[in-house]
Amino acid sequence: MTMTASGNTIDYGERIPNNVDLAGDRRLQRALESWQPGFLDWWSEMGPALDTRDVYLRTAVAVGREGWAHFDHVALPDYRWGVFLAERNQDRTIAFGEHKGQLVWQQVPGEYRADLQRLIVIQGDTEPASVEQQRLLGATAPSLYDLRNLFQVNVEEGRHLWAMVYLLHAYFGRAGREEAAALLHRNSGSDDAPRILGAFNEETPDWLSFFMFTYFTDRDGKYQLGTLKESAFDPLSRTCEFMLTEEAHHMFVGTTGIDRVVTRTAELMREHDSDEVGAAGGIPLDIIQKYINFHYSVSLDLFGSETSTNAANYFTAGLKGRWQEERRRDDHLLTDGSASVDGVVDGSLIADAAGARAGQDRELDRPAAQRNQRQALRLRVRALRLRRPAPSGPPPTGWWAARSCAGGCRRSCGRFVLTADG
């Protein structure tokens, strides 16, 4: 089957659907085809454990604006994991760092080979890790709708692995092929060969964890892809740009999943006039709070430390930019100026000045955290429509504390509000 959209032709008759003209590069095609059986073995061993026949799934078939996805019933092992890059802009120039203004690179510059490979391996390692973490969830899916969402996320994370493996095979020679093999060798939570980043070795044992993971950890994933999309290495940039299209659905799953859980909790609290909703089948707010605390913390860790020489070097070299680099109104060089970064000295917090580049992670995690809080408050729109007497005793605390409105809204509406605490 051949599908054409936006001038991009994807041949589904090929073993690996792609829009990178694999057929024109027999060596690369053979290399990827030799990696494929290992991937399929990994999928059957470490992918979704639930025995299924057809699942209604979205499959990427193009990258153009007129539509990139095809929806149909597919048996999971027959899903067509493909390699898709966003369309190339022939005039694209480097937007930041010391090479700013030059044409982007279509090949890996020798001096940045090791760093670029490392960035791709770390991103690639997270993709199959989440599939492993979510392996058993199908057995306890709350509904068919949720099951479909789970499998959709899983197959797309599998495709993201393909995306990174394509880059390793196509641009990093033998070392890249070895790294691609290692991506299937490491496993989430393994004692001998764990995944590279901490959050991806944690368990996702239940659906609230899954919703928290897709809410917080996939959001970090989106952020990472956004910064790699700025890369001067154009194939990486185009790969990440297309991955972002799929990532939006993963966060939708998290946002609406948590929304449904909290809404149900709020309904039961109102119905029973009690915070103890466990017996009625709800998840008490303090448990939800614990899940938030955990997933928020491990996801925040993924941003790295506040000051990072690596981040500064990647920025200067043009390998990894800032979120929405091109929309920022500064010189995109950051050789002057400084960012204030809090540090702990002798047990107390002090504001310290770091170089603007080294402090950029800090600068960036602020808007990210604020975005999370805004989302958190938006989540609550429905659950807030509660009429309930003010609870006795002090309000619960935490990052999102729920308490009865004490008139802060000027109308003393008696609704529940969630506040970003501290």
Q: How many CA atoms lie within 13 A of 175 on its CB side?
A: 10
Q: C-beta of 80: minimal distance to Fe ion in Å? A: 17
Cβ distance to Fe ion smaller for residue 250 or 380:
250
- Binding span for Fe ion by CB under 5 A among 90-98, 113-121, 175-183, 239-247: 239-247
Cβ distance to Fe ion smaller for residue 218 or 259:
218
Cβ distance to Fe ion smaller for residue 187 or 239:
239
How many residues are given for the chain? Answer: 422
Q: Ramachandran region of residue 55, left (φ > 0), alpha (ψ -120 to 50) or beta?
A: beta
Q: C-beta of 302: minimal distance to Fe ion in Å? A: 13
| C-alpha span between 359 and 137 (Å, rounded) | 39
| C-alpha span between 259 and 268 (Å, rounded) | 14
| C-alpha span between 358 and 127 (Å, rounded) | 27
Q: C-beta of 37: minimal distance to Fe ion in Å? A: 22
Near Fe ion in 160-219, by CB under 5 A: 160, 218
Cβ distance to Fe ion smaller for residue 214 or 360:
214
Cα angle, residue 17 at apex, residues 12 and 20 outer, rounded to 5°: 125
Residues paired with 338 in a beta bridge: 355
Cβ distance to Fe ion smaller for residue 222 or 380:
222
Q: C-beta of 218: minimal distance to Fe ion in Å? A: 4
**Size of residue set near Fe ion by CB under 5 A:** 7
| C-alpha span between 283 and 287 (Å, rounded) | 7
Q: C-beta of 254: minimal distance to Fe ion in Å? A: 9
Outline where DSSP puts E strands in 306-411: 338-345, 348-355, 400-404
Cβ distance to Fe ion smaller for residue 105 or 166:
166
DSSP 105: B
User: Residue 363 burial by CB count (10 A; 0-12/13-18/19+): exposed, middle or buried?
Assistant: middle
Q: Does 332 bind Fe ion (CB under 5 A)?
A: no
Instruction: Give the x-and-dash track for 366-395 against Fe ion (CB under 5 A).
Output: ------------------------------
Q: Which of 70, 250, 322, 362 binds Fe ion (CB under 5 A)?
A: 250
Answer whether 59's CB lies under 8 Å from 72's CB: yes
Q: C-beta of 172: minimal distance to Fe ion in Å? A: 20
Q: C-beta of 160: minimal distance to Fe ion in Å? A: 4
Binding site for Fe ion (CB under 5 A): 127, 157, 160, 218, 221, 247, 250
